[in-house]
């Protein structure tokens, strides 16, 4: 994003042009920013450990145009559900280019996962006997919960530690792999999740050491090699302008140094090192363009826009912060204002006492920053509000990559019994 003569541009396209072409609210993604983010991170990790690969956690943004950008850059896909495996297949990825990391799987999930031939990453050892009823994975890993987790976007998204629902307890890891080996499985990996949106390189060193001690002892005692070790995602971005940027070079160096140290300590055959971020690639490449539709003066001044909690759920869900720009007014003095959407819930009052341009007026365009991850994928249709369009910009070019929903989408799968129509 850039501001020229007080006008906001996404890459080289004015937001006024995008709003006129596609309406609002609309998600817009900068293709070149996605590629730059991916290459920066990949170059950093391969600099310090050459046998490295990223798997893109498609849950964060499942638009196939976005996924194809990352496929072109060399990413595999981390799938949290069978449907995400199918999305990976739609962009030409399958087999061991896909990691299936579902949790609390149904029998149908297991059958379809086995049929797809992807890497099976089991959340819990109790799943193994159920998996073996239907087949034997070619390549199997367990998700380890090392007992620690960290998040910079709220406790509800920590994803690891004693309070998380995910992963295998450290005391159960050895037995889990022993059972898998005794069942005839011969190819193994290991997986963990460090947390969410972490910008402290030292934490990645710490969590690498922790999980490698668990995995190293397991491999040494059972005499098994690990083809890969996936350190999960969690590479963070700053949401507030005063927050520091993750030093990706330092993080990569610390992780790789600790990784090599533990490989040597436990006499492991050097495995591939993998990670599965998404926010780092797409989070700061995505924006929402919205329109000011109403201004209310009551107990406070509230700016009403068409960006509602059903458009961007994160602020209402766990108080997430997103910076807001107002096109044409970024050079104005600021006063504390509130901002809300059009949903009939007070949690849709998702900005309060935020310094915003004092001259904000009806018809102004707002731009919501850092909306590329966990934005559109978490949108919904409450109050009959329809999901927005998605647009990709590349230089001066822009293209629709998902149509705005219509009333037909709201009623498409609804059937009314004949007796109710009389």
Three-state DSSP at 285 gives: helix
Q: Using CA atoms in the order 11, 15, 20, 24, what is the torsion angle rounded to 10 degrees?
A: 110
Three-state DSSP at 168 gives: strand
- DSSP secondary structure, 71-96, as one string: HHTT-EEEESSHHHHHHHHHTT--GG
Contact 192, 148 (CB under 8 A): no
Contact 322, 369 (CB under 8 A): yes
The DSSP letter of residue 239 is S
CA distance 123 to 166: 6
- What sign for the dihedral angle of Cα 238, 243, 248, 253? negative
CA distance 195 to 277: 11
What is the edge-to-edge ordering of all strands in the sheet holding 2-4? 2-4, 7-10, 13-14
Three-state DSSP at 27 gives: strand
**How far, CA to CA in Å, does 49 sit from each of 42, 46, 146, 252, 274?**
10, 5, 23, 8, 10
CA distance 192 to 213: 12
Structure token digits, residue 296: 């209310």
Three-state DSSP at 201 gives: helix
- Comparing CA positions, the residue from 333, 337, 345, 343 lying closest to residue 301 is 337
The H-assigned helical ranges of 152-311 are 170-182, 201-222, 248-266, 279-282
Task: Name the CA radius of gyration of the chain, rounded.
Answer: 23
Strands (E) located in 84-168: 98-100, 119-122, 140-144, 150-151
The residues annotated as belonging to the active site are: 344
CA distance 190 to 395: 40
Q: Is 181 exposed, middle or buried (0-12, 13-18, 19+ CB in 10 A)?
A: middle
Give, for 128, the enclosing helix (H) or strand (E): helix 127-134
């Amino acid at each position: 994003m850039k501001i020229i003569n007080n006008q906001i541009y996404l890459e080289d396209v004015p937001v006024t042009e995008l709003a006129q072409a596609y309406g609002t609210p609309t998600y817009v993604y900068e293709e070149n920013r996605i590629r730059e983010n991916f290459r920066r991170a990949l170059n950093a990790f391969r600099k310090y450990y050459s046998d490295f690969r990223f798997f893109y956690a498609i849950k964060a943004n499942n638009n196939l145009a976005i996924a194809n950008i990352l496929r072109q850059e060399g990413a595999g896909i981390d799938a949290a559900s069978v449907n995400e495996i199918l999305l990976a297949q739609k962009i030409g990825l399958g087999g061991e280019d896909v990691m299936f990391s579902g949790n609390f799987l149904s029998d149908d999930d297991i059958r379809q996962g086995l049929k797809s031939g992807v890497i099976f990453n089991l959340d819990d050892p109790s799943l193994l006997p159920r998996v073996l009823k239907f087949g034997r994975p070619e390549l199997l890993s367990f998700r380890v919960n090392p007992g620690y987790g960290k998040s910079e976007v709220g406790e509800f998204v920590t994803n690891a530690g004693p309070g998380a629902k995910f992963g295998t307890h450290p005391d159960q890891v050895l037995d889990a792999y022993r059972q898998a080996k005794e069942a005839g499985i011969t190819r193994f990996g290991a997986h963990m999740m460090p947390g969410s949106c972490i910008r402290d390189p030292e934490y990645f060193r710490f969590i690498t050491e922790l999980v490698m001690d668990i995995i190293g002892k397991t491999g040494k005692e059972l005499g098994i090699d690990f083809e890969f070790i996936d350190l999960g995602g969690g590479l963070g971005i700053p949401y507030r302008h005063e927050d520091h940027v993750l030093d990706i070079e330092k993080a990569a160096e610390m992780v790789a140094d600790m990784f090599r140290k533990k490989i040597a300590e436990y006499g492991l055959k050097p495995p591939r090192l993998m990670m599965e971020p998404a926010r780092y690639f797409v989070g700061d490449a995505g924006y929402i363009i919205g329109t000011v539709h109403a201004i209310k003066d009551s107990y406070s001044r509230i700016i009403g826009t068409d960006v509602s909690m059903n458009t961007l759920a994160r602020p209402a869900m766990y108080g997430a912060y997103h910076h807001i720009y107002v096109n044409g007014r970024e050079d104005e003095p600021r006063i504390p204002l509130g901002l809300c959407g059009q949903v009939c819930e007070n949690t849709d009052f998702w900005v309060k006492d935020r310094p915003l341009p004092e001259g904000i007026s009806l018809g102004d365009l707002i731009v919501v920053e850092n909306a590329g991850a966990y934005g559109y994928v978490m949108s919904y249709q409450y109050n009959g509000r329809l999901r927005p369009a998605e647009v990709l910009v590349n230089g001066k070019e822009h293209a629709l990559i998902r149509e705005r929903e219509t009333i037909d989408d709201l009623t498409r799968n609804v059937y009314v019994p004949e007796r109710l129509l009389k």
